[in-house]
Chains A and B, each alone.
Chain A
């Protein structure tokens, strides 16, 4: 990555080498020439800048810098006091950090943790799985498992949600589903969500406002319903939240039913109004979800 300047750019395109009539065959050669040839001050500066770009990788010493390049860099460091001091300070910061060593642990926490596990959660079994129901989890106390899942996957709601909400959030959030291996959803950013919502709304509006679209929609509504029904079925496999999630998708499937019914009995205009309302609600919902996720994921 940092090597880009020296490795991937042809020598004649590199800044600072304009003065050389014949560019050296490779970047390593250019560095060597620059050192021995006594370039003017501006060129020396740009060489130092490029060397300093590579110093973090040299410090990391994880194979990003090839041995020949490393040798050239060390050669420059031995000749250039400025860069040498820079590298020396970087090394000493690392040495200072590593001098801290492990912090002494004031107590052994294992007994305490074991006791808390036995009283608050109980033994795990394959049957119960990670999403034990609150009553199984610990006599109505803090039901850790689902709360844990939600926080581990960075999906915990920001404002102290109820246990059920947390479980549903964990299971329905994209990463929750991903962890369960059910659905692969891309980790979308706010603007991506908004764009997708916009495209979806525009598509809905187009389909509903043209005769052809209404015809298509009428014939494909059944498959959409079947699709929602299938997702509901899949979600039944997630313990605890199964009935809630299934209910949500059953409701969506019913909404499809309602849409179809309206189209058949009242015609396209009414269906369009209904569809637009659903699209508006979906837009608001997506916006709220995106805002919550985006707010939480800022930082790391």
Chain B
């Protein structure tokens, strides 16, 4: 039978690093997805996955065992993402254009469809990913958590330490911004129908 997160956390706290490895295997994809959508490139996202799990390990004793381990991971990962985005901004090392270039990453299932369909889907996904990367950090994180990680508003509120009302407001503003930026895609879709 599969062990629960709480069991694995307890075993890790007793010195069993293999138990922690099981938690990494279980959740690295979710953390990677959050990091990739927040940061826009695979390399930074991979580094962030490692950093998140290392930090979570170091602070594991402070994890409240009745809470959700995944939400706690998201909290650490989103803090790290926002720190990284701010330091990027402060350094000015990565211009938005570079970020956009690096954001190009073919979708996993795109190539299984007919070539033209795949090409269109790639292009649309590219535009959507760019639009997400152009959102301010606080809006980006709620949109990614809600619509790409499928978290509930309450889970997001817990992960970000925000009131649910604030999360909803951020979500609404973020979607409004996206609606403006995705106008071209929305219009193409309407014409096509």
Contact = CB atoms under 8 A, between A and B. Distances in A.
A195 interface: no
B175 A90 contact: yes
B107 interface: yes
Interface stretch (A96-104, A248-256, A261-269, A281-289): A96-104
Contacts, number: 178
Nearest to A92: B186
Interface stretch (A32-40, A65-73, A116-124): A116-124
A81 to B, nearest CB: 13
Interface in B103-155: 105, 107-109, 121, 124-125, 128-129, 132, 137-138, 141, 143, 147-148, 152-153
Contacts of A124: 12-15, 57, 60-61
B61 A116 contact: no
B61 A129 contact: yes
Nearest to B142: A300
A215 interface: no
B60 A117 contact: no
Contacts of A116: 50, 54
A116 B62 CA distance: 21
B189 interface: yes
B55 A123 contact: no
B59 interface: yes
A104 to B, nearest CB: 4
Interface residues on A, range: 35 or more
Contact of B175 (A94, A145, A148): A94
Interface residues on B, range: 35 or more
A62 B147 contact: no
Given A107-B46, A109-B28, A97 B15 contact: no
A113 B24 contact: yes
Contact of A99 (B18, B80, B125, B137): B125
A97 B178 contact: yes
Interface in A112-135: 112-114, 116-118, 120-121, 123-126, 129-130
Contacts of B105: 103-104
A7 interface: no
B182 A96 contact: yes
B42 interface: yes
Interface in A166-203: 179-180
Interface of A is mostly: helix
Contacts of B107: 100-101, 104
A114 B17 contact: yes
A121 B124 CA distance: 43
Nearest to A103: B36
B25 interface: yes
A83 interface: no
Contact of B24 (A90, A114, A121, A148): A114
Contact of B28 (A93, A110, A123, A144): A110
A90 B82 CA distance: 26
B54 A113 contact: yes
Contacts of B14: 124-126
Contacts of A98: 147-148
Contacts of A235: none
Interface stretch (A18-26, A149-157, A219-227): A149-157
B88 interface: no
Contacts of A149: 58-59, 62
A107 B45 CA distance: 11
B153 A62 contact: yes
A118 B109 CA distance: 36
Contacts of B18: 114
Interface in B27-45: 28-29, 32-33, 36-37, 42, 45
A154 B33 CA distance: 22
A92 B189 contact: yes
Given A103-B36, A114-B17, A148-B56, 16 more contacts: A1-B168, A57-B168, A89-B186, A93-B186, A100-B128, A100-B148, A109-B46, A113-B28, A113-B50, A123-B15, A125-B13, A130-B60, A144-B58, A148-B58, A300-B82, A300-B141
The 4 closest A-B pairs by CB, nearest first: A145-B58, A148-B55, A130-B61, A148-B58
17 contacts: A89-B186, A90-B179, A97-B147, A99-B124, A100-B107, A100-B125, A100-B128, A101-B108, A109-B32, A109-B49, A113-B28, A113-B50, A118-B17, A148-B56, A151-B76, A180-B62, A300-B160
